């Protein structure tokens, strides 16, 4: 019996079989696969030593790639879970500070929700035309790449570095810091939380999320779906309590309308408020980032985005109305944790439910942020814009472990030196600048290597 092996991807040296190597990571691309061809020559003796010879050729092809494991429920869970993070529990204070009046405050929440829906509709079309993972990176590459040999791929190249090394780790760090702050707040209800404690808890959150996303895609999806449900339930509790307050006639804060409560309101402050509000809606493009893992993306992508963004917009607006039925604008501005203050005044002995739900919400948001960011990193490394090692995926787990590890490390450095407000402003500008480039890019040609089914 003779055996000859011809392959790619994991071939290390001549005559050495892939199955003999203890490798767990391989590169993944549209042209990379594990090809094993075995030829077996079987001799059957019939009367003489060389009477009858039969040749059998067996070819086995196994393509190493991310698996389609994300169904419709998980699609909705990813979008809702990525959008509802720490933002709705932190940003009301920041948005109200720049708004100057209750009317402008609520109007900003509505307008940014509509604009996010418009962006989501654009990404539905882009995702159906270009069924590849990577989100904005892939769309920038497809739109501008063919225009010029050097300058064409430049926007995607710049995006890959700013997103992978700055924006995504800062988003991860913000969600983790929010988790740490809300976990610590109940134990210091009557005093100031030590500055180091939220950062220590945030570091633990980052490590735990990195382990989950590296271990199993199914475990990560289960976590995101579960925490997405907890987030929605927490917001519904706040909204119901607010509606009860409205029914009792507590409308004095809402009745002020567009009357300014702050005389220093300016266009610059309003712009800062809009940036902070956009941050709370960030995450509506997260499903496009992992499109190659979505089952039947041509159906599930439009359904998930069209349902999730309006749902989150309604929940956000009603939650802010609920806040205003309990606290005055000045009380919101002076509160360290708006949702906790609301719960302490309305829910009484059950007030612990809100900080617990917020902690779950921020943990789920951090999980979704890390999950999506790793796919962008993987796509850009696969294209050659990042170090090739970051395009590797685990054969046994089907997870892009190297980018998860690097971004977790960067996030740990960010929480050590930065605060939430500075990280939010930094992240929001970068994110929306490259989103605008993605919207403007006109796709000239599509090469579908993944298949849209």
Q: Please tell me the predicted confidence (pLDDT) of residue 161.
A: 83
| CA pair distance 303, 8, nearest whole angstrom | 38
The pLDDT score that the predictor gives to residue 439 is 63
Q: What is the pLDDT of residue 111?
A: 94
**What pLDDT score does 53 carry?**
41
The structure tokens listed for 279 are 């941050």
pLDDT of residue 43: 38
Residue 353 pLDDT: 81
Tokens of 287: 């499903």
Please list the rounded mean pLDDT of every run of 10 residues in the chain (453 residues).
40 42 46 38 41 42 66 88 79 86 92 93 90 86 84 85 83 84 76 83 93 89 85 87 90 86 74 85 86 89 94 93 91 82 83 81 83 85 86 82 90 78 59 65 47 48
Helix axes 168-184, 196-215, angle to 10 degrees: 120
Class of domain 72-440: mainly alpha
Extents of the domains making up the chain:
1-65, 72-440
What pLDDT, on the 0 to 100 scale, is given for residue 63?
A: 56
Asked whether the whole model's pTM tops 0.85, one would answer no
How many CA atoms within 13 Å lie on the side-chain side of 103?
7
User: Around Cβ 376, how many Cβ atoms within 10 Å?
Assistant: 29
Which pLDDT score, from 0 to 100, does residue 314 have?
94
The structure tokens 């990813």 sit at: 78
Residue in 432, 431, 422 with CA at minimum distance from that of residue 174:
422
């Amino acid at each position: 019996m003779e055996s000859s092996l011809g392959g790619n991807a994991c071939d290390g040296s001549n005559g050495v079989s892939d199955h003999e190597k203890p490798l767990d990571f391989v590169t993944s691309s549209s042209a990379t696969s594990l090809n094993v061809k075995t030829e077996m020559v079987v001799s059957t003796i019939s009367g003489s030593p060389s009477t009858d010879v039969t040749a059998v050729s067996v070819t086995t092809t196994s393509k190493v790639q991310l698996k389609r494991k994300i169904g419709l429920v998980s699609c909705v869970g990813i979008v809702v879970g990525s959008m509802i993070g720490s933002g709705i529990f932190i940003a009301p204070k920041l948005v109200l500070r720049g708004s100057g009046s209750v009317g402008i405050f609520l109007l900003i929440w509505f307008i940014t929700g509509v604009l996010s829906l418009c962006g989501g509709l654009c990404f539905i079309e882009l995702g159906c035309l270009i069924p590849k993972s990577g989100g904005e990176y892939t769309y920038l590459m497809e739109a501008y790449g063919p225009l010029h040999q050097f300058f064409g791929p430049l926007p995607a190249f710049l995006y890959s570095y700013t997103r992978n090394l700055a924006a995504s780790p800062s988003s991860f760090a913000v969600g983790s810091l929010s988790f740490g702050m809300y976990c610590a707040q109940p134990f210091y209800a009557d005093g100031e939380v030590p500055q180091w404690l939220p950062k220590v808890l945030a570091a633990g959150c980052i490590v735990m999320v990195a382990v989950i996303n590296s271990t199993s895609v199914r475990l990560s999806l289960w976590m995101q779906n579960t925490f997405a449900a907890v987030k929605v339930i927490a917001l519904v509790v706040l909204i119901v309590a607010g509606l009860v307050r409205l029914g009792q006639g507590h409308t004095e804060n809402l009745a002020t309308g567009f009357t300014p409560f702050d005389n220093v309101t300016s266009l610059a402050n309003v712009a800062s408020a809009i940036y902070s509000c956009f941050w709370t809606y960030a995450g509506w493009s997260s499903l496009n980032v992992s499109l190659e893992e979505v089952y039947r993306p041509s159906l599930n992508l439009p359904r998930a985005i069209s349902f999730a963004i309006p749902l989150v917009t309604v929940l956000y607006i009603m939650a802010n109305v609920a806040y205003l039925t309990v606290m005055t604008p000045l009380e919101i501005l002076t509160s360290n944790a708006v949702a906790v203050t609301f719960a302490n005044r309305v829910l009484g002995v059950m007030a612990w439910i809100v900080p617990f739900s917020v902690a779950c919400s921020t943990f789920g948001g951090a999980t979704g942020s890390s999950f999506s960011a790793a796919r962008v990193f993987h796509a850009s490394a696969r294209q050659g814009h990042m170090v090739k090692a970051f395009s590797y995926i685990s054969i046994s787990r089907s997870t892009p472990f190297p980018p998860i590890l690097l971004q977790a490390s960067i996030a740990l450095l960010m929480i050590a030196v930065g605060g939430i407000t500075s990280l939010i402003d930094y992240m929001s500008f970068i994110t929306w600048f490259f989103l605008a480039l993605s919207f403007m890019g006109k796709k000239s040609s599509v090469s579908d290597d993944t298949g849209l089914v």
